Amino acid sequence: MPSYTPPLRDQQFVLHEVFKVSAAYQAMPKFSDTDADTINAVLEEGGKFAAEVIFPLNISGDTEGCKLDQATHEVTTPKGFKEAFAKYVEGGWPALSCEPEYGGQGLPLVVNQCFYEMLNSANQAWTMYPGLTHGAYAALATHGTDEQKKTYLHKMTSGEWTGTMCLTEPHCGTDLGLMRSKAEPQPDGSYRITGNKIFISAGEHDMTANIVHLVLARLPDAPPGIKGVSLFIVPKFRVNADGSLGERNGVYCGGLEHKMGIHGNATAQIVLDGAYGTLVGQPNKGMNGMFVMMNAARLGVGNQSLGLTEVAYQNALAYAKDRIQMRSLTGPKAKDKPADPIIVHPDVRRMLLTAKAYAEGGRALLVFCALLLDQEHHHPDEKQRQDSGEMLSLLTPIAKAFITDNGYAATTMCQQVFGGHGYIKEWGMEQFVRDARINMIYEGTNTIQSLDLLGRKVLGNNGATLKKFGKLIGALVEEEGVNEKMAEFINPIAILGEQMTKFTTELGFKGFQNPDEVGAAAVDYLRVAGHMVYGYLFARMAQVALRQIAAGSNDPFYVAKLQTARFYFAKLFPETATLMRTARTGSKVLMDTDAALA
């Protein structure tokens, strides 16, 4: 059976030593009382909940799965899921970063981010039930009417109700302009919505009294394509004027998807049969509200893979220290045993260190993103808000795609450490691999994220935001450029930073002549950008570690941080050279292949 220990020390390192979040929040009146002790206390309790309440349900939930009653359209979640959710609500966890005016605790999103990392390590399938509610909450808080906020946000904040996002239809996935769901206006100002949605995570379950679906549909006079999409609230049960639940709405689960992983989460086929709904925002402007939820979900999906990378690494490390197999190439290390623990073998260490580096890099990136999100919404300086939002926009597709690609590679490597036992269910490793696979697909496939990064976030503003990130690298290089102990961390990012300017300009010029050039290079480009971001973050982490050691610290944590950073720059970061070369090969080798693909 697998085990899990919340990585509180590393979270605290990133929060307080690298990003110094408490000082950052002093500049935001809303969070000025949030100090390190408060954050640490919340995360310590959150770690206990993750490890003690929902982690024990991970394998059993995967084995049992969800069950649909075809007659009633009701879904039963795996044994223990509903009771765990009740404890989650009892502990006040849904309200952690929600607004006090809706009953929330008003803590920074950074705290919720770290809490959810631990939940995802413990049980990704369970965590998706409350997780999606945060995105729905954010969309309604931003675009909902006062009446809608009053009706729904208090219940979503308390955890009494959960939320979903209903986009995909059987004939269209990412291309939402092909959507067919219809919304017919009613005399009372409401709408009757008809259509079919698929792949709706947590779309039906028995854990809460009501489910608030955010549904995309078309009005009768809507223009074609994505410009004709509107957003609606469609509750499972209609809500009476006094806030109590009324009649069952015409939205129900028609089937559950049979999936490769996340079996404990109800991925529903949703049928809308003249369902009552209310418009969110302006007609035909539904993507404005949905993108609030989608961007939150993209960061959340990156967090899912971070969680899986961490828990897979922990278990692979423990196994590698215990499992004996063959002798070290440099002579016996465990002379009292018939063979050495497999951790003495170089390639086992390569796999373990890859997972460790990807976990630590992903954690730093997601904390950075959460801090930017807090600054975008709550910093008193308008320029700081704008700059934070712009930087977050650049980093979001990287956080989603780079972390999930790395997460799948890492969980697979951790499974490999177990050898044949990794393929056997009771060790838990094969589940981590299966669960990690979906994260590369949903909330916009990683290819979509790559196109978004290169086509919109970089070339769309002539590299302006990328240059701003380059200034962060430049400032660090200037600060540490003469420090010989930092050279192994600074020189690689300084060189790549210079290369990125030429690389991006070249791809932009080729893409202007032939848009397929952008499509052909985008996936490679995102990985190069991902390594640039990780490289910057690892350099900052190494900077802190070196300063602590120079100040006299004997904490092995800092030595470990330096060793991981050295491994990252030596073994993973050099992938950028190959990626830039393959990106430059262009689209011809892909598109002039009609005979090969006949």
DSSP H stretches of helix in 246-332 = 286-322
Closest among 278, 324, 301, 489 to 398, alpha carbons compared: 301
CB 404 within 8 A of CB 440: yes
Query: Helix 286-322 to helix 382-417 angle, to the nearest 10 degrees?
Result: 40
Of 173, 287, 174, 270, the C-alpha closest to 229 is: 287
Query: Residue 507, exposed/middle/buried by CB under 10 A (0-12, 13-18, 19+)?
Result: buried
Q: For 496, how many CA atoms within 13 A lie in the half-sphere containing its CB?
A: 28
Give CA separation, 502 vs 450, 485, 499, 505, in Å.
19, 29, 5, 5
Residue 178 burial (CB count, 10 A): 13
d(CA 150, CA 147): 5
Q: Which residues fall within 8 angstroms of residue 93, CB to CB, at 6 or more apart?
A: 46, 49, 115, 130, 159
Catalytic one of 310, 376, 390, 443: 443
**Is the sign of the CA dihedral 557, 558, 562, 563 positive or negative?**
negative
Q: The tokens 């015409």 sit on which residue?
A: 250
**Taking a C-beta distance cutoff of 8 angstroms, is the pair 211, 234 a contact?**
no
Amino acid at 537: L
Phi, psi angle pair for 506, to nearest 5°: -65, -45
Spatial CA neighbour of 369 closest among 180, 579, 112: 112
- Whether 484 is catalytic is no
Instruction: Report residue 541 as tokens.
Output: 């982490």
| Nearest-angstrom CA–CA distance, 126 and 77 | 9
Q: Classify 383 in phi/psi space as left (phi over 0), alpha (psi -120 to 50) or beta.
A: alpha
Distance of alpha carbon 58 from alpha carbon 426, whole angstroms: 11
User: Which of the residues are catalytic?
Assistant: 443
